Amino acid sequence: MVHSGSPPDPWIKTPLMESANLSQAAGCRIFLKLENLQPSGSFKIRGIGNLLRYHLESHATPHLIHFYCSSGGNAGLACVTAALALNRPATVVVPLSTKGDMIAKIMTAGACEVIQIGKNWHEADTYLRETLLAKDKAGVYVPPFDHPEIWNGNSSLIDEVAEQLKEQGEDGADVVVCSVGGGGLLSGILQGLGRSDWGKHCKVLALETQGADSLHQSLLREEVVTLPSITSIATTLGATRVAQTAFDLARKFQVKSAVLSDAEAAMGCWRLADDERIIVEPACGVNAAVCYGGRLKKLLPDLTPESKVVIVVCGGSSVGLSTLVEYRAKYGWVEQETTQDPEVPSTLSAPNGANGHSQ
């Protein structure tokens, strides 16, 4: 809620759409929270935009602030988009693994500068904090996921879902599905559910991909662990260490954690494109993937045809049509492991075994 005289929200209220195609595929009622429609292309602008607003409200000289964000891409894009909306400059530091088209998007969004350095996000972040911020007294650090104001901003997603379900005549959801990188989105979702009337009865399914599963590994070992590296194609889930708060909340709320393969995440991308004309990256495609081939009911066997499942279409700006074509060519064999439902449009267009793909 914005108070009088406060900076405006840089994010928008996104649609909540019940999907007939994904419901048919999953065997329950699937609602899509379309965060891909945010101004920055992902949910990231909720949390980061809220953090920027917090600094502008609490800083002694807000008109002098220059924001600095370290990111693999989407957080940086969100930071620049939000900073521009709030009339402040922003600089982004990305690792060498960030693709040129993402760098171009961040620059076009209005970044003062995009610096590419370091083998991974941790090295890029270290350079930002130890070198850039040390030279700028007006500089304000913007982490991509690990800050209470980021979690608070992300929790607005659940407030919207509650309002939108009520408008559609529904009394809450039974399950919320989201993907996990550093844990900023998960923390916000759990905070939002914690203050919702129906949240105490709502299950949360947290999804990761193999090679980017820091939360899952931490829950298995009952302590936060650091992955040696990120080996998944879902690079925007590429936090080698999940936030402590996300880990603690996941245990408190008994979050169901699951890990899918890169092939399944890629399948989720092309299936979502075919069924709903929505293009997302693997970090989001992993959420759609559970709707196909009985995966969701295997993870949550108590679901019924009337169960209401909200899938956070978290978005992402690092994929286009050419990437989806590459995914279908490389991972098309995964369709052989997916139950085929002729009533689901993407079944008919999927690159299944009949099209000559093999593992």
DSSP-derived secondary structure for 225-277? ---S---SS-GGG--SS--HHHHHHHHHTT-EEEEE-HHHHHHHHHHHHHHH-
Half-sphere exposure of 203 (CA within 13 A, CB side): 15
Q: Does residue 223 surpass a pLDDT of 80?
A: yes
Region of poorest pLDDT, from 15-29, 36-50, 88-102 = 88-102
Mean pLDDT of 95-109: 90
Q: Please write the tens of the pLDDT for every residue from 271-290.
A: 999 999 999 999 999 999 99
Start-to-end C-alpha separation, the chain: 51
Rounded Cα distance between 300 and 177, Å, is 11
**Those residues with Cβ within 8 angstroms of residue 134's Cβ, 6 or more apart along the chain or in another chain:** none
Q: Please write the tens of the pLDDT for every residue from 76-85.
A: 999 999 999 9
Secondary element (H or E) of residue 207: strand 203-209
Q: Are 45 and 120 in contact (CB under 8 A)?
A: no
Compute the mean pLDDT over every residue in the chain, rounded to the nearest whole number: 91
For 31, the token pair is 């609602």
Secondary element (H or E) of residue 93: strand 90-94
115 bridge partner residues: 93
Q: Please write the tens of the pLDDT for every residue from 156-196.
A: 999 999 999 999 999 999 999 999 988 999 999 999 999 98
Mean pLDDT of 1-11: 70
Write down the residue that tokens 């891409």 correspond to.
Answer: 73
Rounded Cα distance between 82 and 262, Å, is 31
Q: Are 287 and 268 in contact (CB under 8 A)?
A: yes
Q: Are 9 and 2 in contact (CB under 8 A)?
A: yes
Most confident of 173-177, 224-228, 347-351: 173-177
Confidence of residue 335 (pLDDT cuts 50, 70, 90): confident
176 bridge partner residues: 204, 310
* pTM passes above 0.85: yes
